[in-house]
């Protein structure tokens, strides 16, 4: 993507300009930077940590090169807790550029992350969750987005990947 410029009176319209500002920019808008990782039918993951830990950075670390300043990030999965109480669950967040969390925009996430999935009143009852948010004020350039999760109030939380689809993604908007 090339930042569109003002053409001046008397300025020649060259093939270089046409290819740069019409061809290249149109292609860019057609295929905006996006990185999506989708897992299908992998083994379940369990979190016991009360502080943010990677879900699996070898699989789910996302990286895109942006021209603009805003990105949409999302996480979709299936979840359960091993305790029968709605006060327990797990929080999900994204660590951006190994520096700040999407939930707080600083180095510590919000208490309940970007999204908090409560357990059900019966243990090991499955529930799908989906969270999407827009991160603003990013600088143009390369950014990384790493999904993090942590359990709250003593529960063991399970991300169900067996027999399920898990997806994380980022897209410049």
Partner 1 sequence: MSWTNPKTWVLNEALTASDLNTYVRDNFSYLLNRPADIFTGSASDRTLVTITSTTPVAVNNVNTLSINIASTRVEIWVFARVAIDATRLGRLDVFVDNSYYVSSLTSTALTNGLWADRAISANGPKASFKVILDGLTPGTHTFQLRAWVNAGQIIIAIANLQFGVKEV
Residues that bind partner 1 (CB under 8 A): 13, 15, 18-19, 22-24, 26-27, 29-32, 34, 36, 38, 40-41, 74, 76, 78, 120-122, 125-128, 130, 132, 160, 162-165, 167, 169, 171
Which residue lies nearer to partner 1 by CB, 11 or 126? Answer: 126
60, 141, 143 from 69: Cα distances, Å: 22, 9, 11
Neighbours of 122 (CB within 10 A): 11
Q: Which is nearer to partner 1, 22 or 142 (CB)?
A: 22
Q: Which is nearer to partner 1, 154 or 163 (CB)?
A: 163
Residue 57 C-beta: closest distance to partner 1, Å: 20
How far is 21 from 91, CA to CA, in rounded Å?
A: 43
The least CB distance from residue 156 to partner 1, in Å, is 17
How many other CB atoms are there within 10 angstroms of residue 32's CB atom? Answer: 16
In the complex, minimum distance from the CB of residue 66 to partner 1, in angstroms, rounded to a whole number: 16
What secondary structure letter does DSSP report for 18? I
Q: CA 59 to CA 38: how far, in whole Å?
A: 9
């Amino acid at each position: 993507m090339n930042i569109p410029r003002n053409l001046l009176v008397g300025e020649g319209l060259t093939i270089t300009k046409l290819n740069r500002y019409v061809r290249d920019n149109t292609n860019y808008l057609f295929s905006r930077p996006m990185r999506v990782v989708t897992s299908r039918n992998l083994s379940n993951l369990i979190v016991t940590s009360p502080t943010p830990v990677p879900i699996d950075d070898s699989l789910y670390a996302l990286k895109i090169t942006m021209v603009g300043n805003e990105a949409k990030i999302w996480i979709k999965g299936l979840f359960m807790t091993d305790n029968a109480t709605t006060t327990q669950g797990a929080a999900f967040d994204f660590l951006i550029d190994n520096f700040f969390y999407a939930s707080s925009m600083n180095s510590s996430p919000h208490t309940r992350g970007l999204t908090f999935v409560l357990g059900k009143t019966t243990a090991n009852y499955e529930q799908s969750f989906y969270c999407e948010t827009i991160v603003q004020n990013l600088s143009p350039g390369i950014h990384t987005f790493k999904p993090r999760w942590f359990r709250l109030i003593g529960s063991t939380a399970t991300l169900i990947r067996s027999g399920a689809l898990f997806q994380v993604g980022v897209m410049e908007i």
